[in-house]
Every structure is written in structure tokens, then in C-alpha cells.
Structure 1
Amino acid sequence: MKKLLLVGALALCGVVSAQENSIKANPAALLGGADLVTYERKLTDNITGVIGAGIGGFKFGGYKYESLGGGLQGRYYFDEALTGFYGAVIGDYLTGKVEMNSADFGFDFGDGSADADMSSETDFSAIGAGLRAGYQWVFDSGFTLDLNGGASYKFYDYKSDTTNGGETDTSNLKGNGILPAGSVGLGYTF
């Protein structure tokens, strides 16, 4: 029994020191990103898988923005997984809402009075895929810094309801295009 416990303890120490996991936070994603918190797992000597989730939002005057998203990445490290230069394939999804109420601004819309009856609510969703390149530092303490950038092709869908003077107008818009993608991750590798 003692030998079994010793072998188990040695195996556990080997797993802990292997540094096969990394958890990071991207503070910029609070403004609307799919990678606020990410978990990265070493799969082979050069390949890792990343799963991320994000929730964001802010309120400014009569504007209110909120979003929820998630994403996946496959990374190839040119030297050793979890440290150094890498290239990544990404896929993500983002959904959210933007609300605007002119009464909260008190703006003059040109007729000499604020239009207190105007409000708008827009629901949006986006799905995309792209490529990133980056560099990840893992320090002796386990502290991790991840910087990356690239481009993503996104498909957007918007549905907007605007109410002005008691009348509601609904519009739908679909769009797509190439947008920049990137993050700054701060975390811990273990």
C-alpha cells in the first residue's frame, strides 16, 4: 500500500509540474468580446486547445450595451506548447443588445426641444472564424502574459425596433466582413 501511495504521489507531482493548463483573463473583452476568460489545455507537444467565454456591458447616458459570447481556438506553438510564438485558428459567437433612450440624454434634435419619446432597442448576433498570431510568456512563478492579433471574417444579424412618438419601426440588417481580432491575456499556467 505504501508503494502504491508513493507511485501515486510521484505521478501527481509529474502532472502538476508539466504545466499543461493555462487560465487567463482579457480585460478588454468587458467591452464586448467572446474571450473574457479562457482555458487553454496542452494536447500535444506543439498543439493546444482553447475555450473562452465572455460577458460584457456598459451604460453611458441613454445608451446601454450588453453582450454574451464564446469561442474556440486551436493553437500551434512553433517551439513548445504554452510558451513562445504561435499561430491560431479561431471561431466565435457573440450575441447582445443595445438600448438607446433619448430622454436620458436631453439632446436637442433640431426642433428646439428634446425628443423624449424616441427610444431604440437593437438585438444583434455575430458568428465568425479567423486566424491569429501571438506570443505567450510563462514566467517561473506561473504568471502568464499572452498577446495576439489577427483577423476574423464575421457574419452579423441585427434586428432593431425604434419607437418615436408612439410609432414603432422594425428593421432587419444582415452584414459580413473582415474585422481585426486580438487579445491581451493575463493569467496563470499550471
Structure 2
Amino acid sequence: MHPQRIQQITEALFNNSASVIKRGILKYVTLEELLTLSLHPDERTAFRAAWALEHVLQADGSKDLLSQYSSILKIYNQSHNWSVLRSISKLIMLILKDRKTLDSMPESYVENILNTTFRILEDQYCPVAVRCNTYDILYAFVTLHPWIAHELRQIMQLDLEKNEMPALKSRAKKVMQRLERIAKT
């Protein structure tokens, strides 16, 4: 992408609120540009692009979300920017809620998502919001790979021993309840 175009997009992303972005950022920026900028080396630019992407894709009723899932997975697998991963992990959660997409996902994608998710969870600096999203990402794969249920329980219990932040506690409780419902069936 041309540096001048990157600068124009960056300025638009920094100067507009979420509601403005939801309503019309795609008049000025393409989804492909937002996807590309989500991996930009400047952390702030990458964050704003991922944040805009999250808002745009949630606002359109997921029609573009599912069509862009391989590009979103690429960002998830390649990014080490916690702010980007917060938005992208949320989009991954939404993608995985679509059972048809989950069931038709190539095993190589599943493997990459699982590897990335476990890598994220191993990082002691992983922010709570990203950590919570990864619980739901792993949960989505429990029916395909039942061994994940045991691993996920252990991870959540260990996390709660280290850190009892309300968001972490709440999400872990919800995921644990869903895991228990699966175990009963």
C-alpha cells in the first residue's frame, strides 16, 4: 500500500468515533485495506485498523465477517499486538459461533487457531480481555476436539488462582457452565 494512502487512512481512523466508523468508513477505506493495516508495524495504526474492522464487521450483520474469515485468521496468527488481538479475537469468536463455518473449516486452520490461542494464553502479559476471548475460542472447538475441555478448565482455574479480576471471573464462570452442560450430554 502506498505510504500516502496509509497516512490518509490512519488520519481517518484516529479522527473518527466508533459510530462514525460503523456508519461510513467503508466509503473511504476498503475491508482489504483495514485487514492489511491491522498488521501494520506501527502499533497504533494497526490497533485502529483492527478496531475499525471489528466495528464494521459487527455492524453489517456478519455478511462480510464470514467471507473474510481467512484474512482475519491470518491477522490472528501473525499479530503480537495485544490491542489488535483484542479486536481480532472477538471477530474469531463470532466466526466460530457459525456452526457451518466451524464444521467446514480446514484442519490446518483449526490447528493454526489452536496453536495461536495456546501461545497467547501462555504469555504472562496477555491482557484480560484477550484472555477471556481465547476461552470462548477454545470452547468453540470442544465438540471437534474433546481434549480441549480438560485443558481449558485447567487454564481457567490457574488463571483464576493468579488473578480474580471481575471480567476474567465472569467469563470463566460462563465457559465452565457451558463445559458442564456438554459433559452432561
TM-score by length of 2: 0.20
TM-score by length of 1: 0.19
**Structure possessing the higher radius of gyration over alpha carbons:** 1
More strand by share: 1
Which has the higher relative contact order, 1 or 2, with Cα contacts under 8 A spaced 6 or more apart? 1
